[in-house]
Amino acid sequence: MKAMKKVLSLAVVAAMALSVFACAADTAAETEETQAAVDYEYMSYAEYDAAALDTEVTVLCTVMATQSWWEDQITVYAQAFDGDGAYFIYNMACSEEDSEGVAEGATILVTGYKSEWEGEIEITDATFEFTDLVQENPMEPVDLTADFGNDDALIANQNRNFTMTGLTVEASGDNGEAFLYSWDGSGSQGDDLYFTVSNGETTMTFTVESYLTGADTDVYQAVEALNVGDTIDVSGFLYWYQGANPHITGVTVN
């Protein structure tokens, strides 16, 4: 019995010692991370832009928005920390705990591969680390009203946060709907919204991406309330799918 007690005591002491050691190691790692935050090696946006597809890239960027975290992955809309371009980071590895920090304004160092999918230039298979850096002069949304419907011009601003103004809501479906749940109306509330707008000369189809702005968001509900003929201003991110396929994050009816 005494021997058993000794074994148990030793086991408890060993476990406690291990725990203390592990905690100390964690603290040391955190301190090191903080100290190294100002000294990152990364590509400028111009270098990223010039990099070939399927090459490894490391970029420093500030989060503009994210799609909903899902099982250790998160999709990020980000702008270059140096302020001259934007990134779409698809399904970046991210724990649920870390996902709370991957929020608007956070600056992160992302390493992944430059890829193309249906025309969208993006970073895939990415990992990241947090930094303490604060982007002091974030890029203002670029006004792309003049480039409306012109993919050749719009592509220069792929993934950027943008605005367009003075657009008219057109009928989207066979029944004259102002918007559709899913691209052809086959969906239901909670699915992506699609709506068509014109500048009087040509039309574009905009998307409210439900993983970015779901049914409980202002923009989703604003689009559900649109009427054909409304004049609107929009803001969003210039996502690409076989051409410009903006993800709209704000709608104002004039």
Partner 1 sequence: MKMRKALSLILASAFALSSVGLTGCHGNVKRNEFIVPEYFDTSREFNITFWAKNDTNINQTNIYNQAIADFEHLYPNIHVNIRLYTDYNKIYNDVITNIATDTTPNVCITYPDHIATYISGDNTVVPLDNLFTDERYGLGGSELVFDSPTVDQIVPEFLDECVINGVHYCMPYMRSTEALYINKTYVEALGYEIPDIVTWDFIWEVSNAATAKNPDGTYVVNGQEVMIPFIYKSSDNMMITMLRQLDAGYSDEYGNIGIFNDTTTSILHTIADEVGQGAFSTFTVSGYPGNFLNAGQCIFGVDSTAGSTWMGPDAPLSDIHESNVVDFEMVVRPVPQFDTENPQMISQGPSVCVFNKEDPQEVLASWLFAQYLLTNDVQIAYAGTEGYVPVTTMAQESQAYQDYLNDPNEYSIKIDVTNMFLENINNTFVTPVFNGSTSLRNAAAQLINNTVKSVRRRETIDDAYIENLYEEVTALYRLDQLSASKDSRAELGALPKESKILLITLGVVWIGIGAYFGCDLVKKRKKN
Residues touching partner 1, count (CB under 8 A): 33
| Residue 252 in contact with partner 1, rule: CB under 8 A | no
| Residue 217 in contact with partner 1, rule: CB under 8 A | no
Torsion of CA 78, 79, 82, 83, to 10 degrees: -170
| Residue 95 in contact with partner 1, rule: CB under 8 A | no
Nearest alpha-carbon partner for 231 in 188, 198, 193: 198
Vertex 61: Cα angle to 71 and 144 (nearest 5): 105
| Residue 135 in contact with partner 1, rule: CB under 8 A | no
For partner 1, give the closer residue by CB, 113 or 233. Answer: 113
| Residue 214 in contact with partner 1, rule: CB under 8 A | no
> How far, in Å, are 148, 180, 196, 214 from residue 163 at the CA level?
10, 22, 16, 20
| Residue 62 in contact with partner 1, rule: CB under 8 A | no
Strand-pair category, 161-170 with 142-143: parallel
| Residue 96 in contact with partner 1, rule: CB under 8 A | no
Interaction residues for partner 1, span 151-190 (CB under 8 A): 182-188
Please state the φ and ψ torsions of residue 73, each to the nearest 5 degrees: -140, 145
Interaction residues for partner 1, span 106-125 (CB under 8 A): 113, 115-118, 125
d(CA 111, CA 179): 38
Please state the φ and ψ torsions of residue 70, each to the nearest 5 degrees: -150, 110
| Residue 192 in contact with partner 1, rule: CB under 8 A | yes
| Residue 229 in contact with partner 1, rule: CB under 8 A | no
Q: Which positions touch partner 1 (CB under 8 A)?
A: 53-56, 70-73, 75, 91, 113, 115-118, 125, 182-188, 191-192, 194, 205, 207, 211, 241-243, 245
